[in-house]
Amino acid sequence: MIESIDTSLIDWSRAQFALTAMYHWLFVPLTLGLGVIQAILETIYYKTGDEFWKKTAQFWMKLFGINFAIGVATGLILEFEFGTNWSNYSWFVGDIFGAPLAIEGILAFFMEATFIAVMFFGWDKVSKRFHLASTWLTIIGATLSALWILIANAWMQHPAGMHFNPDTVRNEMFDFWAVALSPVAINKFFHTVLSGWIVGALFVIGISSWYLLKKRNTRFALESIKIGAIFGLVASILIVWTGDGSAYQVAQKQPMKLAAMEGLYEGGNGVGLVGIGVLNPDKTSYKDNIEPFIFNIQIPKMLSLLAERKMDSYVPGIVNLIEGGYTTKEGTPALSAAEKITKGQLAIQALANYRQAKKDKDETAAQQYRATLEENFPYFGYGYIKDPGDLVPHVGMTFYSFRIMVILGGYFILLFIIALVWNKKDKFQDARWLQKVCLWSIPLGYIAGQAGWIVAEVGRQPWAIQDILPTSASISKLATSSVQTTFFLFLILFTILLIAEIGIMVKAIKKGPEEIENGKLKIENEGDN
């Protein structure tokens, strides 16, 4: 039971997984975004036959390859950690969680691994059409890889298409398509992939701006900025739509996360959305009667509209979700956290009694206990919760991370519009301030992505699987010192890989796009340095 679990082991296991995931996400978004951009560039080359576009595509392809290789390394470690550090979780849901990960490895990963060789080494060795197809299939494979991983993650946020087998003490899948096509999974996939496209676009216009600052490779830089800005603007507009869908799904499936995102302790009808606000650091508990904000500016009734599609609808806050009693959309009183904990304890005890009855070959008693288990299983995870306050995620981290993500998203839309307008008016080449802004905006894409994942993962705590399995009951029985040791080993390893990638990329960027000799092509404009 949870009482015997070392809390320091839980913290270190979470820290190690978070470390691996955050480093992995430094590489994945650039792979997703830069891959599509360089495929678009090669498509232009295929249609025009202009060698300029071939060399442009090859340059960005080189940077794509550097990033891709290191992303794979961190991703493999991340998947292995489910078995090493989270064995209880893997046992409990392996039949479901393992399926999308297996498809990702068998289909998507092998697909991209196969065609990436043709993409890099097939220039002038295969037909232009086949090479273009290989490039697009590599990018599609990378995107499908993200799809199946995100389906697995979405299932953790909203478990569907499964039933619990008390004989094996495992959750088993009965509807694959309910898992793969859940609304949470669909929204998460598009929102996450679009965020990667934005990172790729920021990277392209930022690096291209560096060339303009150095007064070299002018045509290459301006054309790349044009493609990158168009691509980034489309992605930024679409991500507003997917973000709205994601927020709606959070409101329906994870109301506590929504409450934390908004710092909403007391809900009500027609609740406003916090545009700007500063949380009160003195508020440390949902029941301490301290005002949650030092100040905040709200958009009236907007949260109700986003959460329920009605401006006067009811949105529960943290206190309401803990205490229960409000009327749900089904017209029934909401259960309190204490009632859910009681039902969860009944489910856990019924499982133990069922297994003992089966061992004693008492089928009558076994069926009675099984009925009690099935009735209370939706609250199974609550049985491991000691204190209702443990159901509240870190409000400050969730609240501020959400606003960082949203503010940066608005900034990216503005940046891409300005870049396009200045490029169209032939003003970008001389606008050194804009070139510097674009260059230094590259890390902001990563910050926005990391903030989004903090909202998604910190906001759903204490759950590994929403309502069914808390994080504290998911870990492996390991020595805390072992997890600590591997944490620092991974920290050193990942940092070395990151430094190595940056170094290799900087070297490739300084070299710049290759030229064709004998006057057939000069990527640099006449008069460039």
Taking a C-beta distance cutoff of 8 angstroms, is the pair 324, 339 a contact?
A: yes
Q: Are strands 463-465 and 314-315 parallel, antiparallel or unpaired?
A: unpaired
Q: Which CA distances in Å does 493 have to 23, 76, 398, 486, 490?
A: 11, 14, 28, 10, 5
What pLDDT score was predicted for residue 2? 44
Is residue 74 scored above 90 in pLDDT?
no
State phi, psi for 514 to the nearest 5 degrees. Answer: -75, 150
Q: What is the 3-state secondary structure (H, E, C) of 232-270?
A: HHHHHHHHHHHHHHHHHHHHHHCHHHHHHHHCCCCCEEC
Of 236, 228, 233, 260, the closest CA to residue 247 belongs to 260
What pLDDT score was predicted for residue 5? 53
Is residue 252 scored above 70 in pLDDT?
yes
- Mean per-residue pLDDT for 46-52? 93
One-character DSSP codes across 267-332:
-EESPPEEEEEEE-TT--STTS---SEEEEEEETTHHHHHHHSSTT-EE--HHHHHH--SBPTTSS
Taking a C-beta distance cutoff of 8 angstroms, is the pair 346, 376 a contact?
A: yes
Element of type H or E holding 427: none
Of 147, 146, 151, the closest CA to residue 161 belongs to 151
Encode pLDDT of 123-156 as tens digits.
989 999 999 999 999 999 989 988 998 999 999 9
Distance CA 527, CA 118 (A): 36
Chain CA centroid to CA 226, Å: 28
Q: Which CA distances in Å does 86 have to 79, 82, 149, 219, 349?
A: 11, 5, 17, 51, 23
What pLDDT score was predicted for residue 526? 40
State phi, psi for 414 to the nearest 5 degrees. Answer: -65, -45
Q: How confident is the model at residue 519 (pLDDT cuts 50, 70, 90)?
A: very low
What pLDDT score was predicted for residue 370? 94
Is residue 3 scored above 70 in pLDDT?
no
Taking a C-beta distance cutoff of 8 angstroms, is the pair 287, 266 a contact?
A: no
Encode pLDDT of 11-37 as tens digits.
898 899 899 888 888 888 999 999 999
Of 226, 217, 221, the closest CA to residue 209 belongs to 221
Query: What is the length of the chain?
Result: 529
User: What does pLDDT average to over the chain?
Assistant: 90
Q: Which of 14-18, 255-259, 342-346, 449-453 has the lowest mean pLDDT?
A: 14-18
Taking a C-beta distance cutoff of 8 angstroms, is the pair 33, 503 a contact?
A: no
pTM: 0.91
Q: Locate 203 and state its tokens.
A: 């990277």
Unique residue bearing structure tokens 């064709």: 516
Instruction: Determine if the peptide bond prior to 462 is cis (ω within 30°).
Output: yes
Burial class (CB in 10 A: 0-12, 13-18, 19+), 248: middle
What pLDDT score was predicted for residue 242? 94
Q: How confident is the model at residue 87 (pLDDT cuts 50, 70, 90)?
A: confident
Encode pLDDT of 194-219 as tens digits.
999 999 999 999 999 999 999 999 99
Unique residue bearing structure tokens 């008016």: 425
Distance CA 412, CA 233 (A): 8
SS3 216: coil
- Mean per-residue pLDDT for 280-288? 90
Unique residue bearing structure tokens 């609808």: 313
Give me Rg for the CA atoms of the chain: 26
Distance CA 299, CA 274 (A): 6
SS3 358: helix
